[in-house]
Amino acid sequence: MSNSQRRGFLAAVTLAIPLVVAGPPAASAAEKPKIEVSGGVTQPVFSYKDAIREHVRVQSSVDSDGDGKKDLVRVDIIRPKESGSGLKVPVIMQESPYYDEPGVGFENERKKYDANGNVTKFPMYYDNYFVPRGYAFVSVDMIGTRLSEGCPTTYGASDVLGGKAVVDWLNGRATAYDDKGDPVKASWTTGRTGMIGHSFEGALGAGVAGTGVQGLETIVNIAGYTSGYETARANGTLTWFKGLQEWQAKRVDLDPDEKCAAVHQRLSEGADDATGNYNAYWHERNYRTGPISKARNIRASVFSVMGMQDRNVVGSQYSEWWAKLPRNVQRKTWVTQYGHLDPFWARREVWLNTLHQWFDHELMGVSNDILRQPRVDVQLGPDRWITQADWPARTGTTTLRPQQDGSLDRKPSTGTGSYLDTAQTEIAMATDPGATNPNRLAFLTPPLKNAMRLSGTPSVSLKVKLDKPTANLGVLLVDYGQDTRINYRERGATSAEGLKIIGGEDCVGQSTADDDGCYLRAADNTATSGLNVVTRGILDAQNHKSLSRQTPLTPGKSYQITWKMLPQDYEFKAGHRLGLVLTGANDDTNLDETGTGSGTDVEPGTGAKVTVDLAGTSISLPLVNGTSIK
C-alpha cells in the first residue's frame, strides 16, 4: 500500500485499539537496571522515548563498487537508556535494501532522521515493541542502498557479507566508526543477535545465517527467497521480465546510475536471460548450497513463514531450504494460503505473542514453552488453522493417471492427447475443463467421498513428443468445487496477497511523536468460486536433463520428462474434484515490475504441438492419511 493510500485510510479511522499498553514505571536511581520477566515473557519496563539513538558505519569485508576501499555499512541503533549504564542487551536486527524505495512493510514506511543524523522513526514495529522489553533494535542499510557505501548486487555475495559484518561488529570481531571517523565498540550488547525481515530482508537473514557467523542466534525468515535463480526462473523458463537483476539493483539504489554502471553490466550479463540456465552467477545467489551461504552451515535457530500462494517468492524457496537445515537446528514454521505476506498483517495478535516468546527464548534465554508448542502452524482456509509436529505432514504418495475419457484415477491408461504451447492465464487454462481447448488437456477425478489433504511437493511425469526442439511444459493441479477461499489473486488499492484493509489501527508497543507504532488492521480477503488453482509446475523442455545446459529435443521423438511442482499444504473438501491440466506457457508467472502476471513478452509460448502419451503420464501427490480416490 502506498503512503497516499494509507493517508486515505487513516482519514477514515475513528478508533484505534492498542494491543499493548506500555507505560514503564519510573525506576529508582538506586536500582540496578535489569530485564523483567513475568509469565514467560519480558515486560515493557524501559522507556522508548528516552532510549539511546545512535548510528555507526561498520567496515565490511567487500569492495562492491570497485573503488579500492572496503564498503562501510550504515547501522542505525535504538537501545534502552539503561544499556548506557551497565545493562547489556541482545539485538534484533533488520537488514533491508528497501529503506528508500519502495519503503518497508505493507505501509511502505521510511526512516526519519534528526539534526544529528539519528533515526527518529524506524519502519515497522520491532523498535516500538521490543526496545521497551530490553532489546536493542539495529536497522542496517544493505550495501549500496540508503546511507551505506557500495553497489547492490541483487542477492549477491556483498549483499550478504555486509550484514555478516554487522553481526561480527556486535560480537567484537569487526570495526565501526562514528561520524568523526573514530572507532566505536558495541560494548552495550551481549552480542546475541536475531535477524528478522520479509522478502529480500528475510532472504538476507537466511544468507547471513548460512555463512555460519557466530553470534547470530536466530533468524525469522518471512517469505524470504533462498535461491536467486528461483526468483526469476522456473526450470529454465523465465518467470520475471528480462533485465530483472539490473532493474532491482537500480531500484533500491538512488545514487546516479553511473556510480554502479560496471556492476549493473555484470548483473545483466551474468543473469543470462537469453537461455534461463543456471550458472555460476546464480550459484553465488544460492543460499542453500552456494559458495557464500549454505544451509548446512546454519547455527542459528529458524522461525520461517511461507505463503504457499506466493507468486513472488515461490514455495520451493522455503521447502527446499527447510529440508536442508541441519537436524540439530531448532526451528518453527507457519505455512499459509496467503501470497507474499508478513503475518503481522494477517494474524497480528497470535503473531506478536509467538514472536515475543521466540525472541525471549532464543535471545534472552527466558524459560518459556515456545519449543514445547507444536512446531508448525498450517492455514487450511479462511480463519482455519491447525498445528502439527513438522512440515510436511506425514504422507503417503498417491499416483494418478490421466485417462483417454478425460478422467483422472489410479488405473493404467492408454491413448494420446495433444495441445499447443501458447501463453494463457491460469484461469483460462482451468475454466470449463470438459470443453475442448486446443491449448490444454484437462482431466478430473470423480467427486471425493471424503476430505483429502495434500502436504508437501507433488511431482509430475510426462511422456511427450514435440514438433519443435522445445516447448514450455506447464502443469496445474486444480480444486474444482464451489467454496469460499483466500483470494490471493486480487490486487487493489485496499487488498493484496489474500488480505484486505478493514479500517482502524492497532498500536503495538510505545510511541513518540515521530514514531507512533500504529498499523492498519487487515483481515482475510475471500472469494467464492467454483475452482482454485492449488499448485503449478513449468519446465522448458530443453532443460529436462539439466538446468545448467540446454538439450534441444528431436522433433517426433518420445521423451520421459519428470520434475517437481511447487509445494503446497491444502485441503480438498468432500464432493470436490481434483483436476490435472496440461498446458504451455503460464501468463500468470510472466511477472512484470509490479509483481503481477502481465509480463507477457517473457515466455510467449513456442507454438509447438505437444503430443502426450497418456500411458507414460502421471502426477504423484503427497497425501495425508491416504486417499479417497478410487
Distance CA 200, CA 475 (A): 28
Q: Cβ distance 113 to 147 under 8 Å?
A: no
Q: What are the φ and ψ backbone dihedral angles of 120, each rounded to 5 degrees?
A: -105, -15
Dump strand ranges (E) for 467-593. Answer: 472-486, 495-496, 499-507, 518-524, 526-540, 559-564, 568-572, 577-583
Tell me the C-alpha to C-alpha distance, in Å, between residue 2 and each of 9, 102, 103, 112, 492.
11, 9, 9, 17, 11
Distance CA 81, CA 116 (A): 18
Q: Cβ distance 159 to 148 under 8 Å?
A: no
Percent helix, strand, coil in the chain, to 5, is 20, 35, 45
Query: Whole-angstrom distance between the N-terminal and C-terminal Cα of the chain?
Result: 47
Q: Cβ distance 225 to 243 under 8 Å?
A: no
Distance CA 34, CA 5 (A): 42
Q: Cβ distance 226 to 343 under 8 Å?
A: no
Dump strand ranges (E) for 230-312. Answer: 233-234, 237-238, 301-307
Catalytic residue ranges: 199, 310, 340
